[in-house]
Structure formats: structure tokens, C-alpha cells
Amino acid sequence: MSELATEQPVCVTGASGFIGSWIVERLLARGYRVRGTVRDPKKARSVDHLKALPGAAERLELVAAELQDPASLEAAVVGCEVVMHTASPYVLTVDDPQRDLVDPAVEGTRNALAACRKAGSVKRVVLTSSMAAVTDEPDSTRVLTEADWNEGSSLERNPYYYSKTLAEKAAWRFVEEEDVAFDLVVINPFMVIGPSLSPGLNTSNGVFVGLVGGEYPGIVSLTWGMVDVRDVADAHVRAMEVPEASGRYLCANTTISMREAVRLLREKGWGEGRKLPKLGLDGSVGDMLVKLGAQFQPKGVRSYLRTHIGRVPRFDHAKIVDELGLAFRPLEESILETMDDLVKWGHLDPLPSEPTSA
Ligand code: NDP
């Protein structure tokens, strides 16, 4: 990709989201003009935090766009050289997976790319895909790379994962088959955590609310691959700025098991007056019990548990480090900042304050 003209706005779809908001923040901080899309620019909860960002008054424009409304996306990308397509429904349990997940994700991606082709000005699209498009059943004995694709999901099994896989495949197919003047770079983050710029509770940060809120009957053998939201935003900006960036980039820092996460939280005082799990259910008997008990969970959680219990994701993030120069923040710091942020936004009660010495 040739040099960018910084006077052209960078379009960020899903600007109000957990990841989208941080991308907007990073772009503004680096002096870019930004055109963010939101479903309803009049909804204060979606836009007030964006309007308050440094540089927003001068360089941020917010426009309405809906993934399944091609005209709204066409208007959003007019004149842009770079489009960051982050908007996609991120929920595990829905009434109708085709209507609520797959259609908006896949049609939205195709519509966004078709809008970029029509605009003629676009040189690069950075797409927020997911590790969900890489696997939905990590194999503890195999290291995942950018060459891996999730082949297991369906409308019945991990439908969110399915939506992300189909959307990313549709994007690659689009740039292969259509006559486009832009290149496509894809970021595949693992579970994204960290401080939120917006008041809403993101599905991934919600795991910690569930963990201290007694959602788990015991410590189960789940191991999460995680990455800080600010690193994910940096990855998007680097994917835009590094001319040689190409293909997919696994964006995952490291893994942490539920047992390790519980130990960390307890050490830092998050066990006080909370319902952090105690009972060890992370052995072979526990795995069996959790899989049996999964049938009483909501549908989306059920298939997630069945495909993740007892499995440790392993991955190689060398490509994003070597080619985009991304440095990951220490995970424990991210987790503790996430906890403080959940308190800040009222999703968790604060820790009891330290006794003050008289
Ligand atoms: P959020 O739910 O915070 O943000 C999703 C964004 O998508 C919101 O801005 C939302 O807009 C927008 N959106 C959803 N449906 C539509 C629609 N039909 N039309 C227009 N906009 C829509 O999630 P995240 O920030 O976490 O996710 C952003 C992207 O990152 C998604 O593509 C997600 O799949 C991906 N991702 C997330 C991970 C995570 O752990 N959080 C991990 C890996 C990938 P509105 O505010 O109007 O609802």
C-alpha cells in the first residue's frame, strides 16, 4: 500500500464498541481524522464517550450505518483511504443464530467491502476477525498459526464462532473474486479484555464479572487466550500504517487458566465478600461433571463449554510481533486494570477500602 494521506478520514465501523472505541482513540491520538459509524448517532450511550476523546471535537465525525443497509455503508466510506471494519454482533446466546449472528456478520462484511470498492478511494481494509475464525476447539497439543481455520462451528455449535469464520472467509473471497483496488489485512484477536472507554459491559470483560459473581460452581478447566484491548487497537493502527502488512494476524498475548485467574484475583483482594469459585472441578472427574452440567446452560454457553473444557489453546503470535512490531502488555496488569474498570463503570462493587491509620 502506498503512503496514506492523513487528511482523508479513516472510517471505523462499530466505533461505539469496546474495540472500536479504542481504535478511534488511538487514531485521534496519532493525528488522523476519523469517521466512525454507529447505529444511532443520537444515542448518548454510544457516542458521548467518543465525543469526549482528545481531538474528537476537531477530527471525529460520527455517521449512522447499519450492517445490512448497503447504502449506509457506502455513505460512510466515501473518500476514505482506509476502512477498519470492526462492527459485528458479539454475543454467545441468541434466539436465531442465522438472523442474529451470521446474516449481519457476513452480509455486513460483504456490504462494507462492496462499499469500499464503489468508493474507489480505499487502499486498505483492516478487518476485525477473531480467533473464533481460527478454531472453536483448541487442541492442547497443537500450536495454532495464521494457517488454521475453524472447520467445526455451525448454527448449532458455537454460532458466534461460525459467524466470524464465515464473515472472514467472505472477505477473503471478495478480494479474490472482485476487481478491487484495496488490500485486505485481518486481525484475529483472542478474548479481548481491558479498560473500556464506553459504559457498556463487553461480553469478554463480562467473564470477570461472572467469575467474582458466583456464575461458576467451581474452578473448571477452562484456559483462556487473552489480549488487552489497547494492544488490539494498536494492532489495527499498525496494520494500517505498515505498508507491507498482509494476510491474517493472530492477536493473542498469552493464556491463563481459570485456576490461575482465581488465584490472582484472590491475592489482590477480589475474594473478599465475593463468590470467587473455590471447589476444584478442573480434574478429569470435574471435566466430566461440567460437560454433563453444560446441558443446563444457555445454548451458546453449552457448546462453548463442551468444546473448551480441558483444552489449553496454544498459538504462535510471532507474525504480529515481527511484521507489525506489536508488543503485548503483561496480562496480569491487564486483568487487574479490567477489574478496576469494571468498578469504575458500576459493573462490580468496589473492593472494601484499606483501613486508614489514625
Ligand atoms: P462490542 O459489542 O462492544 O461492539 C460491537 C460493535 O458492532 C458495536 O459498535 C455495535 O454497534 C456494532 N454492531 C453490531 N451489530 C451491528 C449492526 N447490525 N449494524 C451496525 N453495527 C453493528 O464488541 P467488541 O468491540 O468486542 O467487538 C468488535 C469486533 O471485534 C467484532 O467484530 C467482534 O467479533 C470482534 N472480536 C471481539 C473479541 C472480544 O473478545 N471482545 C475477540 C475477537 C474478536 P452498536 O453500538 O450500535 O450496537
> Residue 338: how many CA atoms within 13 Å on its side-chain side?
31
In what helix (H) or strand (E) does residue 34 lie, and over which residues does it extend? strand 34-38
Q: Tell me the mean pLDDT in the region 204-221.
A: 93
**Which residues, 6 or more positions from 229, have their beta carbon under 8 angstroms from its beta carbon?**
18, 19, 22, 192, 193, 194, 195, 196
- As a whole-number percent, the residues of the chain with pLDDT over 70 amount to 97
Number of domains in the chain: 1
The yes-or-no answer on residue 278 being catalytic is: no
Q: Is residue 306 part of a domain?
A: no
Ligand 1 atom index nearest CA of 198: 3
Residue 286 has pLDDT above 50, yes or no: yes
Choice from 11, 38, 86, 197 to test ligand 1 binding pocket (greatest atom count within 8 A of CB): 86
- For residues 304 and 159, the answer to whether their CB atoms sit within 8 Å is no
| 323 phi and psi angles, rounded to 5 deg | -85, -35
What is the CB neighbour count within 10 angstroms for residue 40?
13
- As a whole-number percent, the residues of the chain with pLDDT over 90 amount to 85
Which region among 171-180, 250-259, 290-299 has the lowest average model confidence (pLDDT)? 290-299
Q: Is residue 155 part of a domain?
A: yes
Asked whether 196 lines ligand 1 (CB < 6 A), one says no
Q: Is residue 122 part of a domain?
A: yes
Burial category of 337 from C-beta neighbours within 10 Å (exposed 0-12, middle 13-18, buried 19 and up): middle
- Domain range for 243: 10-193+226-252+312-328
pLDDT of residue 351: 84
Specify the higher pLDDT residue, 127 or 179.
127
Q: Is residue 70 part of a domain?
A: yes
Q: Is residue 26 part of a domain?
A: yes
Residue 6 has pLDDT above 80, yes or no: no
- Helical H segments across the chain, by residue range: 18-29, 44-51, 56-59, 70-77, 97, 103-119, 159-177, 206-212, 229-241, 258-267, 284-293, 299-308, 318-324, 331-344
Q: Is residue 213 part of a domain?
A: no
Asked whether 17 lines ligand 1 (CB < 6 A), one says yes
Distance from the CA of 87 to the center of ligand 1, in angstroms?
5
pLDDT of residue 292: 86
24 vs 16: CA distance, rounded Å = 9
179 vs 198: CA distance, rounded Å = 38
pLDDT of residue 238: 98
Asked whether 90 lines ligand 1 (CB < 6 A), one says yes
Asked whether 150 lines ligand 1 (CB < 6 A), one says no
Output the pTM of the full model: 0.96
The secondary structure of 104-128 as a DSSP string is HHHHHHHHHHHHHHHHS---EEEEE
pLDDT tens-place string over residues 92-117: 889 999 999 999 999 999 999 999 99
Question: pLDDT-based confidence at 358, cuts 50/70/90?
Answer: very low
Q: Is residue 144 part of a domain?
A: yes
Q: Is residue 269 part of a domain?
A: no
Question: pLDDT-based confidence at 2, cuts 50/70/90?
Answer: low
Which domain CATH number covers 23? 3.40.50.720
Which residue's CA lies nearest to atom 15 of ligand 1?
A: 89
Question: pLDDT-based confidence at 356, cuts 50/70/90?
Answer: very low
Specify the higher pLDDT residue, 3 or 294.
294
